[in-house]
Amino acid sequence: MKIIVVGGGKVGYYLTKTLLEHGYQPVLIEEQKALCTRTANELDIPVICGDGTMIDVLENAGVRQCDALIGVTGQDENNMIACQLAKNLFHVPRTIAKVNNPKNLSIMKKLGVDIPINSTENIARLLEREVDAAAIKQLMPLNQGTSSLSELQLPADYKLHGVRLSELRLPEESIIVSITRGSELVIPRGSTQILSRDKIIVICKNSVLHELSTALCLE
């Protein structure tokens, strides 16, 4: 999953590193050359040196192929503009903006930013829950929001149709609770096969949602 991060300061660097560790494909946009060089050298990822509110810079970063854009510069206006361009011009599925001034939260929501957030520590956690929303639907938060009871809907042409649960490398922090197949409820065992159109209920930590989605080939 490709994600563009606009802003390469402390928050942007930490977020980009976290995304990389979770198996995403981050691309960073930053104006300061020194920060661009440091991030490119230390994280070995694509870094675009430029203004993330400019159309040509976003295009150079591959915005047309990205799944989400996150604005984490120190300027709310820049974060908002980058998200607006991504959403309205390039039809990026998910936009997230760091809000430096809490008074701007409502403005960002009105202007179409999908997830405005003023707590930087929660951005990566929010991303785990929100970016994979097409495949994984959170039913109930658990353990103060660090885990969840979630529903996974397998597509009609599921590529792992017929595979047994014992053959999958699911995250240790996840448990498949049940499988609904038409009107039938299946209590899963290691030998249970998963089939196209199955509806799976799972309990897992939010930090492994992306890993779970990858293991089940839902991306």
Taking only the tens place, the pLDDT of each residue in 41-80 is: 999 999 999 999 999 999 999 999 999 999 999 899 999 9
Total number of domains constituting the chain:
2
Residues 69, 173, single domain; the answer is no
The larger pLDDT score, comparing residue 52 to residue 14, is at 52
Does the pTM surpass 0.75? The reply is no
Residues 18, 96, single domain; the answer is yes
The answer on pLDDT for 82 being more than 60 is: yes
Residues 142, 96, single domain; the answer is no
- Residue 119: per-residue pLDDT: 61
Give the end of a domain, one of 130, 155, 173. Answer: 130
Domain that holds residue 53: 2-130
Secondary structure of the chain in the HEC alphabet? CEEEEECCCHHHHHHHHHHHHCCCEEEEEECCHHHHHHHHHHHCCCEEECCCCCHHHHHHCCHHHCCEEEECCCCHHHHHHHHHHHHHHCCCCEEEEECCCHHHHHHHHHCCCCEEECCHHHHHHHHHHHCCCCCEEEEEEECCCCEEEEEEECCCCCCCCCCEHHHCCCCCCEEEEEEEECCEEECCCCCCECCCCCEEEEEEEHHHHHHHHHHCCCC
pLDDT band at 116; cut points 50, 70, 90: confident
Instruction: Please name the amino acid found at residue 102.
Output: P
- Residue 130: per-residue pLDDT: 52
